[in-house]
Amino acid sequence: MSKTTTCILLFTASLLCVCGCRRVKDPHNLRADYATAYPDQLAQTTDSILSEYTAPFTLTQCIDLALKNGLEARHAELQERLARLNKRISFSNFLPAVTLDYQQVGFDPLPSIKFNGTGIAMHDKQVREVSWNIQMSLFNPATWFLYHMNSLGYDMAKLSTQYTRQAMTFQVTSIYYQCLCMERMRVTLKTQLDTARQHEREMTEFHKEGMIPTWQAESAHVTVLMKQVEARRMTRALTETYGDLLVMMGLSPRARISLQGDMPLETPDGDLSDLLTEALIHHPSLAMAHAQVAFEKEKIKLAINSFLPQFMGFARRLDTTDSHQVYSNYWTAGLVGTLTVFNGFANVNQYKAAKVQQQDAFIQREQAALALMLQVMRAHDQIQTAQEQIEVVTSMEAATQLHWQQVKDQYDQGLVSASDLLDMSAKLDQARMQILQSQCQHQITIALLKHVLGQDTPEESHHESD
């Protein structure tokens, strides 16, 4: 070996040693850097995305943002891409596999054999060999079964992406209407707080003039404190709900957005039987259960394949510079067959296991269908309950309004005390808040029914060609 070659090898070994021994950065520092940089990066990304839209945001815009930037949707899309790549990988089993081998050998001393007392060289001192190896499966049903299984896996991944997008649509819709309802409740609480403060000032003046006792004036002050606490609690809850909506859209929860009061959702038409049929046809969860049954059927076929022989053809071409060879290049070809004679009954038990898994897939599909039917029935009943509740609280608010007006007239005439008026005002405020809550619950139950029916499933995104 020459000195130049030795130096090159020593330099390469030293470089690898230095690179391998380089100290890795402390994981704690990595977390600290991430914790420091991520909030600012997220804020910049959020500002950039929000600048492309005009406030206030509609429900459609919020859903589009969630499906485009939401982490759950992006994760599902990546899983779908992986399934598509696995399908393409399995297709490669149908194509021949070609490998290239290169070999260069130097002999020192030169190999030789004894002949009539002298040595005869067997090879050149330097020999180079280049060989091409080609293999192709001729009869292997597992190749088809594996490809079909990966195709089903890709279909299931697409259904999973669709199901994830549908679930995100429902979540965004639910949070969206919660925000709208809480905004109205916050405005109502602010109005109630202003009214309570005005009443407190009146009670204070009456107390200074000696017209009412001290406890009545203090009761008015306590009412103001209660309304302040309720308003602050509602503001904090609204901030948290907006944070949930922003996170669903893949944005910073510290951002500030405003929402547009869209038209209320309409209840799906049809009786319960029609709704059950529609859910069983369109909901992605049941489609995934059907795909799982088909997947388990392919696993049975794959288990049967272990009993069958496998044949593979091969060809090899060798080129050499060895002048002692009669032919400098030549082809070799052949056929290889493999048949499992005995493997400890592993193939038999694998077939039995595949049959059991198929039966379990049938049961899981039936469970999914029953669960979906129950969800439809519950959502349908909840809509009826919410509608009835709106009618009740609306009538209650109207009756309370009349009662409050009567008490107010009596208070103006000095027939009732201020505490009676405060109690009646609190009942009226509670009735109005119940109306808002009932209306919000009604919208959420409609969104839930649309969700279990599969009506809120967004349109399919563009997929790459298979």
CATH number of residue 165's parent domain: 1.20.1600.10
**pLDDT confidence of residue 461:** 44
CA nearest neighbour of 319 among 164, 103, 144, 74: 103
Cα distance between the two ends of the chain: 53
- 262 Rama class: left (phi>0) / alpha (psi -120 to 50) / beta: beta
Q: Which residues contact 379 (CB under 8 A, 6 or more apart)?
A: 445, 448, 449, 451, 452
Flag whether 102 is in a domain: yes
Flag whether 53 is in a domain: no
**pLDDT confidence of residue 466:** 57
Rounded CA gap, 298 and 311, in Å?
21
Flag whether 8 is in a domain: no
Flag whether 339 is in a domain: yes
Distances (CA, A) of 314 to 137, 243, 327, 336: 9, 62, 21, 8
- At residue 254, the 3 state secondary structure works out as coil
pTM higher than 0.75 for the full model?
yes
**pLDDT confidence of residue 272:** 93
Flag whether 41 is in a domain: no
How many independent structural domains does the chain possess?
1
Flag whether 7 is in a domain: no
Q: Tokens for 341?
A: 């004679």
Domain range holding 349? 58-107+124-453
Flag whether 361 is in a domain: yes
Tokens 């709208």 identify what position? 180
Flag whether 15 is in a domain: no
- Please report, in tens digits, the pLDDT of each residue of the chain (466 residues total): 455 555 565 666 666 665 555 555 567 778 888 888 889 999 999 999 999 988 899 999 999 999 999 999 999 999 999 999 999 999 998 999 999 999 999 988 888 888 887 888 888 889 999 999 999 988 988 899 999 999 999 999 999 999 999 999 999 999 999 999 999 899 889 988 988 888 888 888 888 888 778 888 888 889 899 999 999 999 999 999 999 999 999 999 999 999 987 668 888 988 999 999 999 999 999 999 999 999 999 999 999 998 999 999 999 999 999 988 889 999 999 999 999 899 899 999 999 999 999 999 999 999 999 999 999 999 999 999 999 999 999 999 999 999 999 988 988 887 887 778 878 888 888 899 899 899 999 999 999 999 999 887 665 444 455 5
Asked if omega into 309 is within 30° of 0 (cis), the reply is no
Residues 256, 179 contacting (CB under 8 angstroms): no
